[in-house]
Chains A and B, each alone.
Chain A
């Protein structure tokens, strides 16, 4: 971040932005390029976790039957995920997954949201490590739930053998296996990562592009302004993507759990 700011101030913006712009120097040790324990990205993850823990613990320290405004807000978030995702997708049995889904939703939403918060301006989810970890949890969760509900053999029979004529099964079973057990966690992780990665890249392109044009030729200043206006417009688009991807990640996890619990294929 500071490096970029210096570059911008010096009027020598590196354009076009590259993948390396996502990998900022380490904070501790300061400026190291191959140390990842304490970077801006990991710091943001801790900040997100801290904000969520403090918010929920503070608002729900003394719950009341008639909620205060903050309590109402916290309950609305939980109620939204509980009723509109968990119960809608899974049915009444979904209530017991609602706490995890809400935690997941809040975490993804807040870490995504850092992408457009001034000074943060990059989402940890644009590093695939975090979406990948969440996707692995979802993967383990739905398989575990399915095996516990149906038993090992019946679960795999349910998820691998679709109700189809026997002669098509040799074709269908590998496809089912591939889509359910191989692609799911991967697609889940990549979808979130790619959206946040692309969003950040877009904002970088239009912001740095404005500086690049300005430093290339003073007559291009109006185009630079247009570029920055585009940045603002894209920030709104990015906000939409942020909410949508947090929702999609949670809904897909719920859908996988529902599929694992379903009796019929």
Chain B
């Protein structure tokens, strides 16, 4: 067939022998493609990939930081809350203790006051009783003397004897009363 074609005036081709013009053209075209793509496109793709990785990792890091901060704040708030609760409890306890103390104080004071009033009353009573007894004693002495002098008809001039007689009499009266 090649022979026939050759005789027909056509150049024959062996497909396994490269045509040098095509190597030149293909080489130039491919090298041009390589230069453009490898210089202007794929390195920028790598950069974009890297930027994307950074962005994602940065995002994750930021999120983690925010999470940690939130957790820390939560802990802080919890601690503060617990503290406030203990404070409140303490304040309540204190107040209760204070109230009890105040009540005890007031009670003690009231008791003291009542004791004092009772004591004062008793004292007054005793004083009054003593006064009355003293007055009565003088009066009873006078009346008895008057009565005696009226009965006996004689005036006992001697003051000292009279006083001694009256006192003895009263003592006798008291001891008789006590018995």
Contacts and interface: CB of A to CB of B under 8 A. Distances in A.
Instruction: Determine if chain A interacts with chain B.
Output: yes
Interface of A: 18-20, 22-23, 33-34, 36-37, 41-42, 45-46, 48-49, 52-53, 56-57, 60, 63-65, 74-75, 78-79, 95, 98-100, 102-103, 106-107, 124, 126-130, 132-134, 137, 190, 193, 197
B33 A75 contact: no
B29 A46 contact: yes
Interface in B1-45: 1, 5, 10-23, 25-27, 29-30, 32-34, 36-38, 40-45
29 contacts: A18-B1, A20-B5, A20-B13, A22-B13, A22-B15, A41-B22, A42-B21, A42-B26, A45-B26, A46-B29, A49-B32, A56-B37, A56-B41, A60-B41, A65-B48, A65-B52, A65-B55, A79-B49, A99-B42, A102-B37, A107-B30, A127-B15, A127-B22, A129-B18, A129-B22, A129-B23, A130-B22, A133-B26, A133-B27
B82 interface: no
B133 to A, nearest CB: 117
Helix, strand, loop or mixed for chain B's interface?
A: helix
Contacts of A99: 37-38, 42-43
Contacts of B108: none
A60 B21 contact: no
A36 B33 contact: no
B37 A63 contact: no
Interface in B31-70: 32-34, 36-38, 40-49, 51-52, 55
A60 B42 CA distance: 9
Contact of B10 (A33, A48, A74): A33
A236 B18 CA distance: 28
A128 B13 CA distance: 12
B55 to A, nearest CB: 6
Contacts of A36: 19, 21-22, 25
B5 A132 contact: no
B45 A37 contact: no
- A-B complex: 10 closest residue pairs judged by Cβ atoms: A129-B22, A99-B42, A129-B18, A36-B21, A99-B38, A56-B41, A130-B26, A63-B48, A42-B25, A49-B29
B18 A127 contact: yes
A53 B37 contact: yes
A42 B32 contact: no
